[in-house]
Structure 1
Amino acid sequence: MLTRRFTSFSAIVAGAALLCTAMTAQAREYSVSTVLSDAFPWGQAAQKWAELVEERSDGRITLRVYPNSQLVAGDQTREFSAMRSGLIDMALGSTINWSPQVPQLNLFSLPFLMPDDAAVDAITGGKAGEMIFEAIEARGVVPLAWGENGFRELSNSKLPVDSPEDLAGLKIRVVGSPLFNDTFTALGANPTQMSWADAKPALTTGAVDGQENPIAIFDVARIDQVGQKYLTLWHYMNDPLIFAVNQQVWQTLPQEDRELLRETAIEAGQWEIEMSRAQEDERLAAIRERGVEVIELTDEQRQAFVEATQSVYDTWTPQIGEELVEVARQAVENR
């Protein structure tokens, strides 16, 4: 009798151990890279994705968010390559930062292509968006959904800018993309590429006169505190964000987990887009209250900038893809 009881007890212990092993084997943790922390909508979107995945997988899947480009030692332009090679499992990344590896993403940096939110949505939600996702997947990364970093607006410490002539000679900090250099050179400015860590001291000392960033970043990072007294709302380009997964990681996942990651990415992206757009008026009001002069362009004033930067299209359309640029143009016109 004692032997049978011991055998039964052993079987129970063994069964429990097997169950724990199975549960442990099913539980997975993945790294998610993002450039900004959850003080910004960008970082909040990554966190939202992680929360939705943990909730709907009952804790079986954990997305560990690493903000501030920690996984690439602060070099955000290496994020896509690191994800493609498997050093990063997933990311919520910027079209600007990924464009060195995916030339088609330069579409969003073409100056004055997208005049409003409807134009952005027409591109990301249509054939052009599908073509871009195909280009990303062809390079070893699986794109899942769109988010939004927003329209990049121009600020400076010298004067209100409402015409291309106002930019003549201004030293403008830009991100590390040749397309941005070409755009500001066409406008008569003096573009200077530097990291954001270097940009804030340069703005403070006057080594550079201005910069360009979305309203949310201008507000949260308090760019007005480094001498930026004039803010021009010119919507010269938009920087959509992309939720994505390393292709090898994706291939190891069962179909139900793939669907879970995609559905939650879409939901987190839509949540962040709606939140970002809803907050813009409030952010602008706060920026004005801090003494910044906000310049809003008329259609005629904006058109002058459009005409001044047409040469950029001649240079960059062949690199991006003529078909893709034309499909995007048509989507904007028909929005």
Structure 2
Amino acid sequence: MITRRFTGLSAVLAGAVLLCTALTAQAREYSVSTVLSDAFPWGQAAEKWAELVEQRSQGRITLRVYPNSQLVNGDQTREFSAMRQGLIDMAVGSTINWSPQVPELNLFSLPFLMPDYAAVDAITGGQAGEQIFAAIASRGVKPLAWGENGFRELSNSKLAIDSPDDLEGLKIRVVGSPLFQDTFTALGANPTQMSWADAKPALTTGAVDGQENPLSVFDVARIDQVGQKYLTLWHYMNDPLIFAVNRTVWQQLPAEDRELLRQAAVDAGAWEIELSRGQRDQRLADIQSRGVEVVELSDAQRQAFAEATRSVYDEWTPQIGEKIVAAAREAVANR
């Protein structure tokens, strides 16, 4: 009798071990890289994705978010390569930061291509957006959904800028992209590439006169505190975010988990876009309340900047792809 009881107990314990092993095997954790923390909409987009995946998988899939480019030692331009190589499982990344590896993403950095949110949506939701996703997929990364870092606006410490002539000789900090160098050179400025870690001290000391970033970054990072007294809303480019997964990781997922991950990314992206755009007016009011002089360009003034940078299109369209640029322009015209 005692022997039978022990035999039954052993069977129950063995079954429990097998069940725990099976559940453990099903549970998976993946790394997600972002450049900004959840103090910014960008970081909040990644956190929302992780939250939705956790909920919808009932805790079976965990996305662990690593902000501030931790997984690439602060070098945000290495993020795409690291994901492609499998050093990072997933990312919510910027078209600017990924453009060195995916030249087609320079589409979004063409100056004055997208005058408003409707133009951005027409591009990302249309044929040009599909072509961009295909270009990313061809390089070993599976794109899932769009988010948004926002229109990049111009600030400086010298004067209110409302015409290309106002930029003559100004030292403007720009991100590490040759297209940005060409754009500001065409406007007569003196573009200076540097990391954001180096930019704030340079703005403080006057080593550079100005910078360009979305309103969310200007606001949260308190760029007005480093001498940036003038802000020009010129909407010269928009930086969409992209939710993406390493191709090998994607291929190893069961079909139902792929769909769960993709739909969660789509929903997180839509949530973050609405959040980012909805905060614009309040951010602008907060910035103005801190003594920043804001200039909002008229259509005619913006057109003057567009004409001054037309040469950038001639140089960069072949690198981006004639078909993609044409599709984008058509989408904007028909929005």
Query: Which category of TM-score, normalised to the shorter sequence, fits these structures?
Result: over 0.9
Rounded to whole Å, the distance in 1 between the matches of 2:138 and 2:19 is: 39
Per-residue CA distance 1:103-150 (angstroms, 9 max, x = gap): 000000000000000000000001100000000000000000000000
Report the CA distance between 1:321 and its aligned residue. Answer: 0.1
Q: Map 1:1-335 to 2 at 5 A.
A: 1-335=1-335
What is the one-letter code of the residue matched to 1:29? Answer: E
Report the CA distance between 1:3 and its aligned residue. Answer: 1.5
| C-alpha RMSD of the superposition | 0.3
Q: 5+ residue gaps in structure 1?
A: none
Per-residue CA distance 1:195-233 (angstroms, 9 max, x = gap): 000000000000000000000000000000000000000
Report the CA distance between 1:16 and its aligned residue. Answer: 0.2
Rounded to whole Å, the distance in 2 between the matches of 1:292 and 1:141 is: 41
Moved over 3 A (4+): none
Quick one: percent identity of the two aligned structures? Answer: 83
Rounded to whole Å, the distance in 2 between the matches of 1:106 and 1:284 is: 27
Per-residue CA distance 1:59-99 (angstroms, 9 max, x = gap): 00000000000000000000000000000000000000000
Secondary structure of 1:235's partner?
coil
What is the one-letter code of the residue matched to 1:91? Answer: A
**Would you say how many aligned residue pairs link Structure 1 and Structure 2?**
335
Report the CA distance between 1:191 and its aligned residue. Answer: 0.1
Rounded to whole Å, the distance in 2 between the matches of 1:39 and 1:85 is: 29
The two structures have a TM-score, normalised by structure 2, of 1.00
The two structures have a TM-score, normalised by structure 1, of 1.00
Secondary structure of 1:21's partner?
helix
Rounded to whole Å, the distance in 2 between the matches of 1:63 and 1:137 is: 21
Rounded to whole Å, the distance in 2 between the matches of 1:55 and 1:299 is: 45
What is the one-letter code of the residue matched to 1:300? Answer: A
Q: 5+ residue gaps in structure 2?
A: none
Rounded to whole Å, the distance in 2 between the matches of 1:111 and 1:177 is: 13
Rounded to whole Å, the distance in 2 between the matches of 1:127 and 1:314 is: 22
Report the CA distance between 1:2 and its aligned residue. Answer: 1.5
What is the one-letter code of the residue matched to 1:235? Answer: H
Report the CA distance between 1:4 and its aligned residue. Answer: 1.4
